[in-house]
Structure 1
């Protein structure tokens, strides 16, 4: 199928509002998060240490995956006598500060999970037996605890704080923003309310990244549905320090085929999405490791030249996405969303040299690829 793509969008991208001025996350952050790998009850300090080791030993750290984020269920069932958060003594016997020190010793950065309300998501959805471990009423104390422990990244998760605690999203997220801003330690601030209140319209002055969708699961249907949801939010993301977040990567998890995993990663790259691996980095197949560590694809993700990737064309069985690159180039994803092999092509004004970023080959001047079902080509176009 031949697509004629008019690239006037490159010249007329609206400027997003000013980002949070904390000089962090100047490019989309990258790392590993525990949730997709072990969810709640299997989370231990040993799991986190091994993930840090694997990031360093596999080369993922050097590819850019620097943040090791401990998600929900690290907390003891109750706060300490002084009201401070504490780690579960059985699964984190050495405490969070010691774990953060270990992560730092591997040349990595340490992240942790908290919530603005009274109840974490695992308390609601996984029957996690805890009371009062949310940050409601403890915002300053928790921020100071994270500072003392050596936290570099905070994932702050909504978890129905409106219906449970009567909180307003923007106000609650701003409160923790202000507490973090008062700390001597710089902490990247990631908020997650699943796109319910269109955070892309208000979150740039609040956080460094904000979730745009519900949780992504490791199926093609979920990946494709999340891709479809990103088409309308592109104008609100941008450098430095303010990123749409379509959720953590599912490469290496579930039922995704290698083609689907590469398609997933290709679109995340043109979206300038935060890249957080969610599989066990020590058990990745060679194919999945190559997908996550592809330097040319990562370079596309980390290159913000005035616009997040946009859906340029879509129809039955195909989508085309593109984004500007530094130096006047364009990154293009040709995506076969159908169930049969198909050729997806794009005709662009001008003359281009085309490079396939998955095969690492220059492929001439045609913006075209014959793709298996659910496969994608990630191409870099350079003006000739």
Structure 2
């Protein structure tokens, strides 16, 4: 967990680390890994998935423009195996459901479908549970209940098998774990260590998706859990309506009310940074239940959240309108922006009328969402000062869906938004003034090249930090010459820490900036930011800046 490092271990980590403190002009923003894009079988097929279903969906992604737009994962959810193991504990797969696809393949080998997916230039995902049982034992499914479809007691064995089959992504559910009243932070840490062990043996990367529906607040412990990267974690329950016994796959419906609920539960911007993402669940664009207007608003909400874009619809049944919604390049650019941040609500001028904003990589650019949750059309205005842009400067506004330039505006922009709809915009202007802060240990800005070695039980503290906003964007200037990320923890005003991954900045002392968001106290310079090392070696931190 984020606050579970023992003092002795922390002292050992800090002992060998030094932080170089220097003012670097215009250090480049370092891109972080984007959230995943792809398809998942659950929303439309529940536990009735098989080889033919997956091949049909993979072919659709490759042929309909989704792959070209950036969708790459084909994820197989629950129902791919029946809970049977051989005498050595290895997973036994139903040969009829997963037959050979190419000449020379063996029946019941999940490597068959992986090779097919890879052959289309796509990536393959698989599913298991952290407990002994899967989800069909605790709730209704379209197919039969399959006990013993979890990986508890077989973590290292199963994840090694997934990698040997060639899977690139693994989703780990929580139905069995919840049924057994297990501790998710402990179980998912064990799974993370099994994944790290697998990657060390095979050299094959497994993207790690935690799915415990937001229980026990995974955004507080999931980043870098078990010493490795937990890439995404679910923040709420399932978005699709409950299954009714006797219904067909195509009868599963979505509702915009559930879309809004999942969006709200996913808002934990302090945890979404440096390649870690809150996951508001699979999308329902293209499923029965949403109008075209609601589908666009749904896509806008997921894009400005900056989370995973995993489509749950049957891709062979998508309309041209749904396909256009899912592949709009400007909307996808908002989601995939390389700062890797989440949106923040910056204004609520009236009940149900909201303004959400997400900083983008381009200096002075924001994605802005005007959301109308009310039952009537409403005028919503966004002020540039609320976005951290220079107040009074000219800001260019563009509609993200149409690409239409809407003009230049001096201090704010207003639009009338239909009931239950949203307007998604780009706003490009000048950044507001920023303030740089240096470690309290130096009491002043450092000279070029000056270093500060941290000894036992020490941390790097930035005190008397002022913020204009209750959730502030913090830019961290740092150095990491390694080929892989280094890690550190940040605790703001004594609250629970967040683990931050610092990607490579390059050799020869090259510096870069990384952006994170954090709750702050406003109305004075009274915030304290404390960094500590959670890996050996840690990043070389230099300064921070806030608007």
Q: What TM-score does the superposition give when structure 1 sets the normalisation length?
A: 0.89
Q: Which moved more, 1:288-297 or 1:25-34?
A: 25-34
8 Å contact from structure 2 (residues 32, 338) kept in 1: no
Give how far 1:319 is off. Answer: 1.7
CA distance, structure 2, for counterparts of residue 223 and residue 271 of structure 1: 12
Q: Residue 267 in 1 paired to residue 310 in 2?
A: no
8 Å contact from structure 1 (residues 27, 239) kept in 2: no
- CA RMSD between the two structures: 1.8
8 Å contact from structure 2 (residues 32, 339) kept in 1: no
> 1:240-296 deviations in whole A, cap 9, x for unaligned?
2x1110111110113111111111111111111100011112211111111110110
Q: Residue 318 in 1 paired to residue 353 in 2?
A: yes
Gaps of 5+ in 2: 1-30, 101-108, 241-253, 385-391, 431-547
Q: Residue 72 in 1 paired to residue 72 in 2?
A: no
Map 1:261-300 → 2, pairs under 5 A: 261-300=295-334
- Greater than 4 Å deviation, 4+ residue runs: none
Q: Where does residue 332 of structure 1 map in the other structure?
A: 368
Q: Where does residue 175 of structure 1 map in the other structure?
A: 190
Q: Residue 137 in 1 paired to residue 153 in 2?
A: yes
Q: Residue 190 in 1 paired to residue 206 in 2?
A: no
Q: Residue 85 in 1 paired to residue 91 in 2?
A: yes
Give how far 1:341 is off. Answer: 2.4
1:152 alignment partner, one of 168, 176, 182: 168
Structure label with greater radius of gyration? 2
CA distance, structure 2, for counterparts of residue 230 and residue 246 of structure 1: 5
Map 1:1-384 → 2, pairs under 5 A: 26-41=33-48, 43-94=49-100, 95-126=109-140, 128-164=144-180, 166-183=181-198, 184-206=203-225, 207-217=230-240, 218-231=254-267, 233-240=268-275, 242-305=276-339, 307-314=341-348, 315-328=350-363, 329-348=365-384, 350-366=393-409, 367-383=413-429
SS of match in other structure, 1:113:
strand
8 Å contact from structure 2 (residues 134, 147) kept in 1: no
Q: How many residues align?
A: 357
CA distance, structure 1, for counterparts of residue 425 and residue 146 of structure 2: 48
SS of match in other structure, 1:125:
coil
SS of match in other structure, 1:52:
helix
CA distance, structure 2, for counterparts of residue 133 and residue 154 of structure 1: 14
8 Å contact from structure 2 (residues 233, 279) kept in 1: yes
Give how far 1:79 is off. Answer: 1.6
CA distance, structure 2, for counterparts of residue 306 and residue 31 of structure 1: 18
By percentage of residues, which structure has more strand?
2
By percentage of residues, which structure has more helix?
1
8 Å contact from structure 2 (residues 83, 150) kept in 1: no
Give how far 1:33 is off. Answer: 0.1
CA distance, structure 2, for counterparts of residue 132 and residue 283 of structure 1: 33
8 Å contact from structure 2 (residues 33, 338) kept in 1: no
Give how far 1:372 is off. Answer: 2.2
Give how far 1:383 is off. Answer: 1.3
